[in-house]
Amino acid sequence: MQLYNTLSAKERAALIEEAGKERLTISFYQYAHIVNTSIFRNHLFIHWDALEVLGRIYVAHEGINAQLSVPAENFEAFKAHLDSISFLKGVRLNIAVEQDNMSFLKLKVKVRHKIVADGLNDASFDVTNKGVHANAMEFNALIEDPDTVLVDMRNHYESEIGHFENAITPDVDTFRDSLDIIEKDLADHKEDKKLVMYCTGGIRCEKASAYYKHKGFKQVYQLEGGIIEYAKQVESQKLENKFKGKNFVFDSRLGERISDDVIASCHQCGQPCDEHVNCVNDACHLLFIQCEVCSEKMNYCCSDNCKEVHELTFEEQKALRRGKTVSNKIFKKGRSEVLKFKK
């Protein structure tokens, strides 16, 4: 995946040239105060539909979160439209030139309560009053500072396979839990310590930094663009890479390798491994770490029970599920009593 920060006119021209008749897959987010979300939603839909934009866009009072694709030839017009909206002018776009032109089939712009499900009460603080953005070089310097407390704002199954050296990695299932734990742990250091945060692509830190400022932390920093942008800058600027292992991502790959270190272990045998899989039993789909040897042995399942079910015929499986509510393990990412080696 190629990621671009703010593109110069020349870089944009090269990008469009390279893509030819292809579509460009783009993601971006911005926290802002959007008063009339329906009007804003309709405004986007009318303009973007005309530019043949496809994708899934969430609009809320707190901002916008967009995953979309646009024909390369319409990119300039799309960019011009973004720049015509005050809070989206110059917004950082993550652009992937993909062979797959089928990433989105429709344009869906939805009004939502939140752009990220975070369990926070909006009215209590200003989400646009965010922390200081640090690029990769500034971030490396910040985390060397003895007065810095570095916090990973992601969930346990994400930091398990990769994180920055010396980061606090809360053992949490949700963003909301993380916020409370960190606040409690650092309650005595609201003024003297630099609170430095990071997440996958920046969207969670953007909110967390505003939250902590609201809670009285004086020096709040965040890694701009998250681990994704950090990895790109480390490579292009030949910086020291302080991230160890893999960056968990939410598409079918489940992780992008950032360094050669394997910091996790197979949840079934304990051998070094950082490959996330989903249990293939359709009634389970538990997310966990499984090495190749265990995949073979367990037929890609998380447990003997799932293996037995998975090896039944489709009709037998259906009969087994009849009358039962679907297992909720799908939501228990990486946690189950069957995983012996999950720390």
Catalytic residues: 199
Question: In sequence order, what DSSP letters do the residues of 197-223 get, joined into one string?
Answer: EE-SSSHHHHHHHHHHHHTT-SEEEEE
Number of residues that bind Zn ion (CB under 5 A): 11
Decide: residue 174, CB within 10 A, 0-12 exposed, 13-18 middle, 19+ buried.
exposed
**Cβ 133 to Zn ion, closest distance in Å?**
40
Question: 203 with 133: CB under 8 angstroms?
Answer: no
Task: Tell me, residue by residue from 243 to 272, as one string, x for binding to Zn ion by CB under 5 A and - for no binding.
Answer: -----------------------x-xx---
Instruction: For the CB of residue 300, give the shortest distance to Zn ion in the complex, in Å.
Output: 9
Residue from 37, 281, 289, 334 binding Zn ion (CB under 5 A): 281
Q: Which residue type occupies 268?
A: Q
Measured between alpha carbons, how far is 85 from 50 in angstroms, rounded to an integer? 17
State yes or no: residue 298 binds Zn ion (CB under 5 A): no
CB of 325 to Zn ion, least distance (A): 16
CA count, 13 A, side-chain hemisphere, 217 = 28
| Residue 271, phi then psi, degrees to nearest 5 | -70, 150
Please list every residue from 17 through 76 that binds Zn ion, using CB under 5 A: none
Beta bridge partners of 272: 265
Task: Give 149 or 286: the residue with its C-beta nearer to Zn ion.
Answer: 286
For the bound state, the minimum distance from the C-beta of residue 266 to Zn ion, rounded and expressed in Å, comes to 3
- Closer to Zn ion at the Cβ: 182 or 266? 266
**Which of residues 7 and 269 has its CB atom nearest to Zn ion in the complex?**
269
Site residues, Zn ion (CB under 5 A): 266, 268-269, 279, 281, 284, 286, 291, 294, 302, 306
